[in-house]
Amino acid sequence: MTEPNTRVEIDRSHLLLSAAWMAVVLGAVMQVLAVLAAGSPSLAALATETVQKVSWSTLVCTGLAIGATAARSRPIWTGLAGLIAAPTAFLVARTLQKSLAQALSVTAGGPPMDLVVLVMAKAIEYGLFGVAIAWLLQRRSSAIACAAIGLLFGVAMAGFVLLYGQAHPPAVAPAAAVVVARSINEIVFPVGCALVLYASDHVGRRMSA
């Protein structure tokens, strides 16, 4: 017979595994949407962008899932996980993208704003996002409620990026298609990540039942 503590560890491993593979799918979906919005890049550029999006998605969603499973009764810990995971994931994903771009002799796209500002904004966004999602999951809210919170954070972040770009215009203005693609990513990812966390939490609860 399985010991209770062992069963909890098994359930947590199922939850994290579910979050990880769904996050990979989310990253791939984001890349498809980016291609549809900005046009088809070269195969090399497509590879670097896919690596960036999949690694970002996997690290952020899995980090939030770890925070959610570590302390279900304390949403603040999920927020702390988001506060740490988002900037870490951004830097890791960007490093992987630049390394692959260098290996394939292509130019990696730059961030839409000052790197320090963007990293800080991501940390704040996903710190608060983690608290909100953990609070909803604690109360077993619906998938629609979780998606709505994700949409709220996504729209807020997309608006911030656009306003910052207007206040601090870059030397070379990005193409309109690139701006649209970035805005879609900023909005879609929090919604998708919220649904990933909802689904993985649902799997974890079912495994515990």
Domain extents for the chain? 4-208
The pLDDT of residue 39 is 67
Q: What share of the chain is helix, strand, coil (3-state, %, to 5)?
A: 85, 0, 15
Please give the torsion angle defined by the CA atoms of residues 133, 134, 140 and 142, in that order, rounded to the nearest 10 degrees: 10
Whole-structure pTM value: 0.85
The pLDDT of residue 20 is 87
146 touches 137 (CB < 8 A)? yes
Distance CA 201, CA 89 (A): 21
* Mean pLDDT of all residues in 85-93: 93
Radius of gyration of the chain (CA): 18
159: alpha, beta or left? (left if phi > 0; alpha if psi -120 to 50): alpha
106 touches 48 (CB < 8 A)? yes
Distance of CA 166 to CAs 99, 110, 173, 178, 196, Å?
A: 30, 17, 10, 15, 33
Q: What are 120-173's pLDDT values in tens digits?
A: 999 999 999 999 999 998 888 899 999 999 999 999 999 998 888 888 777 666
Distance CA 36, CA 55 (A): 20
Q: What are 146-159's pLDDT values in tens digits?
A: 999 999 999 999 99
Sign (positive or negative) of CA dihedral 51, 54, 57, 58: negative
- Token representation of residue 124: 């704040």
- pLDDT at residue 86 is higher than 90: yes
Which residues, including other chains, have CB under 8 Å from residue 72's CB and lie 6 or more apart? 134, 137, 138
Average pLDDT, the chain: 83
Q: Which residue has the higher pLDDT, 58 or 170?
A: 58
The pLDDT of residue 126 is 96
